[in-house]
């Protein structure tokens, strides 16, 4: 008992319970919630793998590399995603983990990672990401019936009144407040589908951000919006996100909608992807989509656009670091905007009068552009994919834009059929 503090010995009367100076404890179950558990396990893994030449990045936690072997991996809890050139290096990692006392299982096909299914098309150099059954399981959990009519919009849409001299603000929500059970339902819907929205199903992000802004005091109107979102999920085929092989050059689109949310708030949208080092990088599957309500009230559309550019660029700073640590040094990251004034402000073509909040974003963006971290350029609004994440679009627009972000199910079915046929021929 020499390692036990005296006050603990006295409080729990351990002297009477000790046998030959030792206190024996039977552990009948685990206790969750120890804040230090993750850090302790990570530090232990670091010390063990260091003996075999593996080091965790000091700048990107969770990214590991070997001192000289052509291998690196990401680690999320107990799930390893390994990239290697030469099978012998992956076998070395397996041997190192077993020698360190860990029991492991390996999947050399790489079809599962952190709950996401990966289908590799080596001929076309594509990989398809999906989460089969996730939506159906969640709908069953929420006891949501299939809609009687197909729903192609995940949120309500208010058509603009074209030709009107004035556009009026959306009336305040005066519907009945939900009880605690209703509030919990809204929070569960938001939490359940946010992971899927970020992972593979970006069309869910705009309605989820609206629900999250109302979940502290939801109303019957909020419940109607949540039910429409569930109808949308039930109506659509399983989402599939596709990445194409590229030069691993980070690129982004940024956009904003001015005064499009309650309480005179604006919305920022971003589409961040990996592409090639060309003037106008071609689209690829998103590594991050941004759909968020700007916290402060914007005084103009240009200020909202600058805020969106700032939000997107701020996210890109760390992604640039991750890519550099992975061995992909980055040129100035191209960020596309459809607001000529905002682009002119950043590239020193325009000198506007600014509020203090706008002044900070303005100088931050201009400084980063001067440091060659970013390259800001203008293209027409119809070519800006971030626009999709800034507004509550009509159903027709969702149908038209789905192909820009998601892959048809038929493409994945054809790949699996081809792979199965090749397997039978071997």
What tens digit of pLDDT does each residue of 359-388 get? 788 889 989 999 999 999 999 999 999 999
- Say whether both 343 and 374 belong to one domain: yes
* 121 three-class SS: strand
Radius of gyration of the chain (CA): 26
Q: Mean of the pLDDT values across residues 320-346?
A: 95
DSSP string over 162-182: TT-S--PPPPP--SPBP-HHH
**Is 406 domain-assigned?**
no
- Say whether both 181 and 320 belong to one domain: no
- Say whether both 277 and 365 belong to one domain: yes
DSSP assignment letter at 295 = S
pLDDT band at 168 (very low <50, low <70, confident <90, very high): low
| Tens of pLDDT, residues 196-242 | 999 999 999 999 999 999 999 999 999 999 999 999 999 999 999 99
Phi, psi dihedral angles at 21 (to 5 degrees):
85, 5
pLDDT band at 125 (very low <50, low <70, confident <90, very high): very high
- Say whether both 371 and 252 belong to one domain: yes
Per-residue pLDDT, 12: 87
- Say whether both 338 and 358 belong to one domain: yes
- Say whether both 363 and 333 belong to one domain: yes
Distances 13 to 1, 4, 16, 21 between C-alpha atoms, Å:
12, 12, 6, 13
Across 209-213, 347-351, 393-397, 409-413, least confident range: 347-351
**pLDDT higher than threshold 90 for residue 425:** no
**Could you give the angle at the alpha carbon of 106 between the alpha carbons of 59 and 424, nearest 5°?**
130
**pLDDT higher than threshold 90 for residue 32:** no
- Domain count within the chain: 3
- Say whether both 39 and 179 belong to one domain: no
**Is 126 domain-assigned?**
no
Beta-carbon contacts of residue 330 (< 8 Å; ≥ 6 apart): 249, 250, 320, 323, 324
Beta-carbon contacts of residue 266 (< 8 Å; ≥ 6 apart): 256, 257, 258, 259, 260, 293, 294, 297, 298, 304, 307
**Is 204 domain-assigned?**
yes
Residue 223 belongs to domain spanning: 133-161+172-235
- Say whether both 384 and 258 belong to one domain: yes
Beta bridge partners of 79: 76
The C-alpha atoms of residue 337 and residue 304 are separated, in whole angstroms, by 12
Q: Which two tokens stand for residue 98?
A: 């077993």
Per-residue pLDDT, 158: 77
**Is 22 domain-assigned?**
no
- Say whether both 250 and 383 belong to one domain: yes
- Say whether both 355 and 342 belong to one domain: yes
- Say whether both 252 and 231 belong to one domain: no
- Say whether both 178 and 74 belong to one domain: no
**pLDDT higher than threshold 70 for residue 398:** yes
CB 93 within 8 A of CB 82: yes
CB 211 within 8 A of CB 227: no
Across 32-41, 52-61, 131-140, 236-245, least confident range: 32-41
């Amino acid at each position: 008992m020499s390692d036990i503090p005296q006050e603990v010995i006295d409080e729990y009367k351990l002297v009477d319970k000790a046998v030959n100076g030792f206190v024996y404890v039977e552990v009948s179950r685990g206790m969750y919630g120890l804040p230090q558990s993750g850090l302790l396990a990570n530090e232990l893994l670091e010390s063990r793998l260091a003996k075999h030449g593996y080091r965790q990045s000091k700048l990107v936690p969770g990214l590991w590399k070997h001192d000289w072997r052509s291998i690196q991996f990401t680690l999320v809890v107990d799930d390893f995603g390994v990239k290697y050139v030469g099978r012998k290096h992956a076998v070395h990692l397996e041997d190192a983990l077993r020698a360190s006392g860990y029991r492991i299982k390996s999947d050399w096909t790489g079809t599962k990672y952190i709950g996401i299914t990966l289908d590799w098309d080596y001929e076309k150099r594509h990989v398809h990401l999906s989460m089969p059954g996730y939506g159906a399981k969640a709908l069953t959990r929420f006891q949501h019936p299939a809609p009687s009519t197909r729903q192609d919009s995940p949120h309500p849409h208010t058509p603009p009144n074209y030709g009107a001299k004035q556009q009026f603000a959306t009336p305040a929500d005066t519907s009945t407040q939900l009880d605690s059970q209703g509030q919990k339902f809204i929070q569960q819907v938001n939490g359940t589908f946010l992971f899927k929205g970020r992972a593979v199903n970006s069309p869910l992000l705009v309605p989820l951000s609206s629900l999250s802004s109302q979940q502290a005091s939801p109303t019957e109107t909020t419940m109607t919006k949540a039910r429409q979102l569930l109808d949308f999920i039930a109506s659509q085929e399983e989402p599939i996100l596709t990445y194409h092989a590229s030069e691993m050059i980070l690129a982004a689109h940024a956009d904003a909608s001015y005064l499009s949310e309650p309480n005179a708030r604006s919305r920022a949208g971003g589409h961040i992807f990996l592409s090639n080092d060309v003037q106008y990088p071609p689209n690829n599957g998103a590594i991050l989509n941004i759909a968020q309500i700007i916290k402060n009230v914007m005084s103009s559309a240009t200020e909202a656009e600058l805020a969106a550019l700032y939000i997107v660029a701020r996210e890109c700073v760390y992604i640039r670091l991750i890519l550099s640590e992975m061995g992909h040094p980055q040129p100035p990251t191209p960020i596309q905007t459809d607001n000529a004034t905002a682009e002119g402000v950043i590239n020193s073509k325009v000198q506007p009068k600014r509020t203090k909040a706008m002044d900070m974003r303005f100088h931050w963006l201009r400084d980063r552009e001067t440091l060659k971290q970013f390259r800001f350029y203008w293209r027409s609004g119809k070519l800006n994919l971030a626009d999709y994440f800034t507004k509550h679009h009509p159903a027709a627009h969702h149908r038209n834009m789905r192909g820009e972000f998601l892959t048809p199910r038929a493409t994945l079915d054809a790949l699996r059929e081809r792979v199965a046929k090749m397997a039978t021929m071997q």
